[in-house]
Homo-oligomer: A and B are copies of this chain.
């Protein structure tokens, strides 16, 4: 009964799952707005956003009571409320670190600026890239990282360098005061508490797709090559489970 430590609570808190969906609603709303729609019901908006309508209503209810029963939600008003909740009514200054294939694509992407994200700086270590002008910005040398962050008031760092450099660069931007990082490098970044890291990992997405694709095709290890010679490390060969990965329906634990 001693309601002691309410760790992760926070009455003011919007569930993380909801936060992740708000941008989707926002996009759908903008699309409706462009088409001149003034009012939308939860059912319609949910369909446009690809979610359950009850979920949508519950999500929106976390921001307040902005709907009108019997009518629906006013598009403009809702756009404003969601934008405000997400912090899109102010500009966020972004720096892209690593101007390779991916960094270049990001730098030239219009979808950022349109939502209040301003790419203010590009940084790289390669002398062949530093100094070049890309998407209207001159690439700065990575040595200037701290100065650039301070100069522009960068609040979000995008890391698009090889994995090997990511953690060190992450440490530097965090030390320089940045508390939000978007990471494209295939590594798990470790950061102190209070710093938010989100990662985008194409390779993982593909692997998840592969898993489901394989499942549809009839489970793993369909080929007979189900054996693991186990000839590697020179452990004794004796007391080893010879469980050959047994996919589901195979022999199991025949430990004689």
Name A's B-contacting residues (CB within 8 A). 12, 19-20, 22-24, 26-28, 38, 48-50, 64-66, 74, 76-77, 80-81, 84-90, 92, 94, 101-102, 104-106, 108-109, 111-112, 115-117, 155-156, 179-182, 186-188, 190, 194, 196, 198, 200-214, 216, 219-221, 223, 225, 228, 230, 232-233, 241, 243, 245-250, 252-253
> Does B211 contact A85, Cβ atoms closer than 8 Å?
yes
Query: Copies per complex?
Result: 2
Q: How many angstroms between the C-alpha atoms of A242 and B140 in the bound complex?
A: 48
Name the residue in A12, A84, A216, A248 with the highest tally of chain B Cβ atoms < 10 Å from its Cβ. Answer: A84
> Does A211 contact B115, Cβ atoms closer than 8 Å?
no
15 contacts between A and B (CB under 8 A): A20-B208, A64-B245, A76-B232, A77-B230, A80-B246, A80-B252, A86-B214, A89-B223, A101-B105, A112-B202, A117-B210, A180-B213, A181-B209, A182-B205, A182-B209
Measured between beta carbons, the chain B residues less than 8 angstroms from A198 are 205, 208-209
18 extra A-B contacts, CB within 8 A, seeds A28-B188, A101-B109: A12-B248, A23-B201, A24-B204, A38-B233, A74-B232, A76-B252, A77-B230, A80-B250, A80-B252, A84-B247, A90-B223, A111-B203, A112-B206, A155-B213, A156-B213, A179-B213, A194-B216, A196-B209
